[in-house]
Structure 1
Amino acid sequence: MTRRLTALFGGAGGLIGAVLVLLIVADGLAAPLIAPYDPLAVDMTASLLAPASDHLFGTDQAGRDVLSRVIWGGRASLEVSALAMVIGFAGGISLGLLAGFFSGGWLEQLLMRLLDAMAAIPLLIWAIALVGILGVGPFTVAGITFGNEVKLLALLGVLYIPTLARITYASALAESRANYVAARRLQGVGSLRIMISDVLPNCLSPVIVQATLLLAIGIIIEASVSFVGLGVQPPNPSWGNMLADARNYLFSGEWWLSVFPGAAISLSVVAFNLLGDGLRDALDPRHTAQALTA
Structure 2
Amino acid sequence: MNNTISSHVKPANAWVRFKNSDFIYYFLKDKTAMLGFAFFLAFLMAAIFAPLIAPTNPYDLLNIDLMDAELPPVWITDGDPRFLLGTDDQGRDILSTILYGARLSLTIGFCAVALQLVMGIIIGLSSGYFGGKIDTFLMRCADIQLSFSTMMIAIILSAIFKASFGPEFYSQYAVLMLILIIGFAEWPQYARTIRASVLAERQKEYVEAAKVMGLDSIRIMFRHILPNCLSPILVISTVQIANAIMSEAALSFLGLGLPIDQPSLGALINTGFQYIFSGQWWIAAFPGIVLVSLVLVINVLGDWLRDVFNPKIYKG
Same fold (TM over 0.5): yes
2:92 aligned with 1:64, yes or no?
A: yes
* 1:16 equivalenced with 2:35 (yes/no): yes
Q: 1:231: how far off?
A: 0.3
Q: Is the 8 A contact 1:14 1:276 kept in 2?
A: no
CA contact (8 A) 1:137 1:148 kept: no
Shift of 1:267: 0.9
- Aligned partners of 2:41, 2:155: CA distance in 1, in Å? 33
8 Å contact 1:85–1:157 — kept in the other structure? yes
- Report the equivalent of 1:139: 169
Residues 43 and 62, structure 1, Cα contact 8 Å, conserved in 2: yes
Deviates more, 1:28-37 or 1:43-52: 43-52
Partner in structure 2 of residue 129 of structure 1: 156
For structure 2, which runs of at least 5 residues remain unmatched after alignment? 1-18, 75-80
Q: CA deviation at 1:262?
A: 0.5
Scaled by the length of structure 2, what TM-score is found? 0.82
Q: In structure 1, which of residues 25, 32, 38 is the aligned counterpart of residue 44 of structure 2?
A: 25
What letter matches 1:106 in structure 2? K
CA RMSD across the alignment: 2.3
* Distance 1:23-1:111 versus aligned 2 partners, 3 A rule: same
Partner of 1:47: 69
Question: Which amino acid in structure 1 is aligned with residue 239 of structure 2?
Answer: L
Give, in whole Å, the separation in 1 of the partners of 2:282 and 2:288. Answer: 10
Aligned match of 2:139: 112
TM-score (ref. length: structure 1): 0.88
Query: What pairs with 1:171-186 in structure 2 (closer than 5 Å)?
Result: 171-186=197-212
Could you tell me how far apart the structure 1 residues matched to 2:169 and 2:280 are? 36
- Compare relative contact order (CA 8 Å, sep 6+) and give the higher one, 1 or 2: 1
Structure 1 counterpart of 2:42, one-letter code: L
Number of corresponding residues: 284
State how far apart, in whole Å, the 1-side matches of 2:284 and 2:172 are.
29
Q: Per-residue displacement from partner, 1:140-198 (whole Å, max 9, x unpaired)?
A: 9xxxx951121111011111211111110111111112233234334444433322222
Computing the radius of gyration from Cα coordinates, the structure with the larger value is 2
Task: String of CA shifts for 1:116-140, please: whole Å, max 9, x gaps.
Answer: 2222233344334334433263439
Change (3 A) 1:206 1:81: same
Structure 1, unaligned stretches of length 5 or more?
none
Aligned-pair distance for 1:282?
2.6
Instruction: Name the counterpart of 1:267.
Output: 293
Quote the Cα distance in structure 2 between the aligned partners of 1:176 and 1:9.
35
| Mapped partners of 2:23, 2:187: distance in 1 | 33
